[in-house]
Amino acid sequence: MSKFLSEKLSSLKAYEPGEQPQDKKYIKLNTNESPYPTSDGVIKAINEQKIKDLRLYSDPECKLLKSKLAEVYDTIPNKIFVGNGSDEILNFAFMAYGQKGVAFADITYGFYSVFADLYGLDSQIIPLKEDFSLDVDGFLGLNKLIVIANPNAPTGKEIPLDDVERILKSNANSVVVIDEAYVDFGGNSCAKLTEKYDNLLCVQTFSKSRSMAGARLGFAIGNSEIIKDLEKIKYSTNPYNINSLTQIAGYSALVDNDYYLNNAKNIIKTREITTNKLRELGFTVLDSKANFIFAKSDKIDGKELYLKLKENGVLVRHFTKDRISKFVRITIGSEEEMQIFIEKVTKILGELE
């Protein structure tokens, strides 16, 4: 750190993304990417001409992309914001709406606490219940910014839309962000509730179900006044936040929506098979509605399992937080990848005996 950094930032603990190793080829089950490639439509759309056109700035209004999103999500472009990954949208929401403080769960997406610290917000941490389900009552009547991942990460647990509505109603004077990064893997989206509640921001991403983590594209649906706020921040920081290739790729991915829906179905199927196999091996596996599972074994600590799997060419994610340090989070890869994963786990457990 240089001596020039402002005091406010010098104590900030930055978010630690999952490993993206470039040294050797792993079966990569650590950052919840899709095992399936982008659709043919996306590949065809990014042609030589579009690459040459990179000399031009991208459309700051993202008109085509927004109109296609509006069509697919049965809404209007004025109710949609697009961001450079959903991380950027979350960043803007913390910046815009946290002045009275922010509430989120103890075990959830690690970036929330980083954004809260970045903007010097008062954080109210609401512990998940013993079984890792969200303490919905704890979020009632707070009237501060509320941020909930649904399904949650890294647990994969979902709260029903009735509970989302209870939270929205009882916090009518503050914004409630529902982070739906993993909703396409069997969850229920709150997007339609934005017609009824002007304090809801529903945030989604192309990084998971739409196989575009590297393109950096997220979107949010909310009341048009909230969207205007986010646009204001965007035009005050980076008007061309979505590069032109990503806009084209996002549009084409929406044209090919059925392909991605089918991939999500396959991932759900593989998730259930993997869950059952791990349970047969004695693991506790939380019921997941996401493209990952959260699992622990009494025979081996989370950190050790993570390290042994890495030695065996399989990357999963381990978190050091006390409450979850026995667990590993395993992204659901292709059927073949998960078969190898199970073989490696079986081997590692066998070597312990």
Strand duo 145-149 + 176-179: pairing: parallel
Q: How far is the CB of 179 from ligand PMP (least distance, A)?
A: 5
Residue in 109, 251, 319, 327 binding ligand PMP, rule: CB under 6 A: 109
Query: What are the b/e assignments for 310-344, b being 16+ CB within 10 Å?
Result: bebebbbbbbeeeebebbbbbbbbeeebbeebbeb
Q: Is 205 in the site for ligand PMP (CB under 6 A)?
A: yes
Q: Which residue is nearest to ligand PMP (CB)?
A: 85
Q: Give the count of alpha carbons within 13 A of 300, CB side only.
A: 23
Site mask, ligand PMP, residues 68-107, x = CB under 6 A? -----------------xxx--------------------
- Cβ atoms of 330 and 338 within 8 Å: the answer is no
Furthest CA-CA distance within the chain:
62
Q: Is 218 in the site for ligand PMP (CB under 6 A)?
A: yes
Helix (H) or strand (E) holding 347: helix 335-352
Q: Which of 218, 219, 221, 206 is nearest to 42 (CA)?
A: 206
- The residue among 227 and 300 lying less far from ligand PMP, judged by its C-beta, is 227
Q: Is 213 in the site for ligand PMP (CB under 6 A)?
A: yes
- Cβ atoms of 304 and 296 within 8 Å: the answer is no
Q: What residues between 305 and 324 interact with ligand PMP by CB under 6 A?
A: none
Q: Is 181 in the site for ligand PMP (CB under 6 A)?
A: yes
Q: How far is the CB of 187 from ligand PMP (least distance, A)?
A: 12
Q: How far is the CB of 207 from ligand PMP (least distance, A)?
A: 3
Beta strands in the chain (DSSP E): 27-28, 80-83, 102-105, 123-126, 145-149, 176-179, 200-205, 218-222, 284-285, 292-296, 314-315, 327-331
Q: How far is the CB of 94 from ligand PMP (least distance, A)?
A: 12
Torsion angle of C-alpha atoms 21, 26, 30, 31, degrees rounded to 10? 60
Q: How far is the CB of 290 from ligand PMP (least distance, A)?
A: 9
Q: How far is the CB of 15 from ligand PMP (least distance, A)?
A: 9
Give the Cα separation of 249 and 175 in Å (integer): 30
Give the Cα separation of 226 and 229 in Å (integer): 5
- The residue among 58 and 205 lying less far from ligand PMP, judged by its C-beta, is 205
- The residue among 83 and 302 lying less far from ligand PMP, judged by its C-beta, is 83
Residue in 80, 147, 149, 254 binding ligand PMP, rule: CB under 6 A: 149
Tokens 């829906």, located at residue: 261
Size of the site for ligand PMP (CB under 6 A): 12
- The residue among 151 and 302 lying less far from ligand PMP, judged by its C-beta, is 151
Residue in 146, 147, 148, 153 binding ligand PMP, rule: CB under 6 A: 153
Site mask, ligand PMP, residues 35-74, x = CB under 6 A? ----------------------------------------
Which residues, listed in sequence order, are joined to residue 328 by a DSSP beta bridge? 295
Q: How far is the CB of 226 from ligand PMP (least distance, A)?
A: 18
Give the Cα separation of 143 and 176 in Å (integer): 9
Written as six digits, the tokens of 178 are 């529902």
Q: How far is the CB of 213 from ligand PMP (least distance, A)?
A: 5
- The residue among 86 and 244 lying less far from ligand PMP, judged by its C-beta, is 86
> Count of H helices and E strands in the chain?
12, 12
Q: How far is the CB of 149 from ligand PMP (least distance, A)?
A: 4
Rule CB under 6 A: which residues touch ligand PMP?
85-87, 109, 149, 153, 179, 181, 205, 207, 213, 218
